[in-house]
Structure 1
Amino acid sequence: LIVEHNRTSHPQTLHPYLTLSTAAISSIMSSEAFTLFASPDTDVWKKPPSHNVYSAPTKAVPTKSLSQFKSAKITFSADWSEQYDQGGLILTFDSLSGRERRWIKTGLEYYNGTQQISTVSCHSWADWSIVPLTAFEDTKTITVLVEKVHDDLGLGLWIYYVKQDGTKEPLREVCWVYGDDDASGTDWNLTVGALAARPAKDAKSDLEVQFKDFDVQWE
């Protein structure tokens, strides 16, 4: 089962996801391809003093506790053409105690005519980092990976670009996820999904992003 949040008029087909059990899911994955269509003026972005939008279409696996998250990986491609066209993974954190929503998105973003591997991390406000895709390889098919990592200094999420040969290239470490007063993550529900967005308001058509090999692992 996956959940679609699609704000466009395009019909889409849900593909079956394989789970180890219905009582205690430890893996949700599928090699089936699916497509998201993002209309113009869709985005996930938060910038002071007051801009806060979460309007991009997504396709997500069932929500679970952040404490159970292990990793998420997805492969995707598109014909990028408009400024800020984007696709990839989005992790959305919703608090059980009423704190403000947080999120992380990572994938490809088309910026100033260049395909950029992009990560945006939003705690109170969003911050953004990019590196040209050509710094890693010349390819149309993109794979990104988010992993929970516990090292000698503590706990965080590592975000990687995965090359065609399987090599993991580190993009960013995000440490606030297990911070505050709840290092266990039990106060937060996590929704992991595929994302497509076309922020350009004057674009004449939708962005079409093809996804495959969507794999989410839980402890």
Structure 2
Amino acid sequence: MKNGVWLNEPKDWSLKDGILDLVTDEGSDYWRETYYGFTRDSGHFFGVQTPPAFTAQFRIRGSYQALYDQAGIMVRIDERRWIKAGIELSDGRAMLASVLTNGRSDWSTAPYEGNADDFWMRVTVEKGVIRVQVSADGQFWPLVRLAPFDVADHYLVGPMACTPERSGLKVRFSDFQLTASLRKELHDLT
């Protein structure tokens, strides 16, 4: 993560020995238009540049307390084309959430049955497709989402955290890996 660049650097953060700790600023969010009608591009994202095909994964530890508190992974081409996925507090519980944005945002959620305070996210991008996976232990990787994703000569990938309704979510990101695309079969969950 040492080569990362901030989009909306939080006031409180540190990076030491590959561990990124941050505390979210008030009103941080990523969203484009759908349902709410507004566009926000103020969330915290620490992006590392990738080649056209890659796999990235890391561990996320946080304590979600308020509506829409969220932390996870983001892959970004520009302000109109990106995806974020991770844990988001909604409807009174930790949800596994993903937002895919291609001009406008969608939002998909499902109850997360693992430990929402300590989990892993993985993305693989290749040939116009993104595969998003989650893991409770960094070993077993169920599918979260498979979607079309614009082909680009590079992307930014890395940790993302937002608190649209408050400030103060403390999150730790660690165990970052960026490799060539894993090219695993869709139902290979290793």
Give the TM-score, by structure 2 length.
0.83
Pairing 1:109–2:74 present:
no
Other structure's SS at 2:96 match: strand
Coordinate RMSD, CA, aligned? 2.2
Query: In the TM superposition, what is the alpha-carbon distance from 1:46 to its structure 2 partner?
Result: 0.7
1:23-62 CA-to-partner distances (Å, cap 9, x unmatched) read xxxxxxxxx322122112110111248511110122222x
Flag the 1:114–1:50 CA change in 2: closer, same or farther, 3 A: closer
Q: Which residue of 2 is the match for residue 172 of structure 1?
A: 145
Larger radius of gyration: 1
Q: Which residue of 1 is the match for residue 122 of structure 2?
A: 145
Flag the 1:158–1:41 CA change in 2: closer, same or farther, 3 A: same
Q: Which residue of 2 is the match for residue 41 of structure 1?
A: 27
Query: In the TM superposition, what is the alpha-carbon distance from 1:13 to its structure 2 partner?
Result: 3.1
1:147-182 CA-to-partner distances (Å, cap 9, x unmatched) read 1356xxxx511111123261111111111424xxxx
Counterparts in 2 of 1:1-219, with a 5 A limit? 1-10=3-12, 12-15=13-16, 32-48=18-34, 50-61=37-48, 63-65=49-51, 67=52, 69-94=53-78, 101-134=80-113, 137-138=114-115, 140-148=117-125, 155-164=128-137, 166-178=139-151, 185-186=152-153, 189-200=154-165, 203=166, 205-218=167-180
Query: In the TM superposition, what is the alpha-carbon distance from 1:139 to its structure 2 partner?
Result: 5.3
Other structure's SS at 2:107 match: strand
Contact 1:36 1:57 in 2 (8 A): no
Query: In the TM superposition, what is the alpha-carbon distance from 1:3 to its structure 2 partner?
Result: 1.9
Other structure's SS at 1:168 match: coil
**Aligned partner letter, 1:213:** D
Flag the 1:15–1:138 CA change in 2: closer, same or farther, 3 A: closer
**Aligned partner letter, 1:172:** R
**Aligned partner letter, 1:126:** S
1:64-114 CA-to-partner distances (Å, cap 9, x unmatched) read 45x2x31111111111011000001111103xxxxx631100111010111
Contact 1:149 1:156 in 2 (8 A): yes
More helix by share: 1
Query: In the TM superposition, what is the alpha-carbon distance from 1:218 to its structure 2 partner?
Result: 4.2
Gaps of 5+ in 1: 17-31, 95-99, 179-184
Flag the 1:5–1:139 CA change in 2: closer, same or farther, 3 A: closer
Flag the 1:89–1:50 CA change in 2: closer, same or farther, 3 A: same
Aligned-residue sequence identity (percent) comes to 22
**Aligned partner letter, 1:54:** D
**Aligned partner letter, 1:166:** Q
**Aligned partner letter, 2:179:** Q
Flag the 1:165–1:39 CA change in 2: closer, same or farther, 3 A: closer
Gaps of 5+ in 2: 182-190
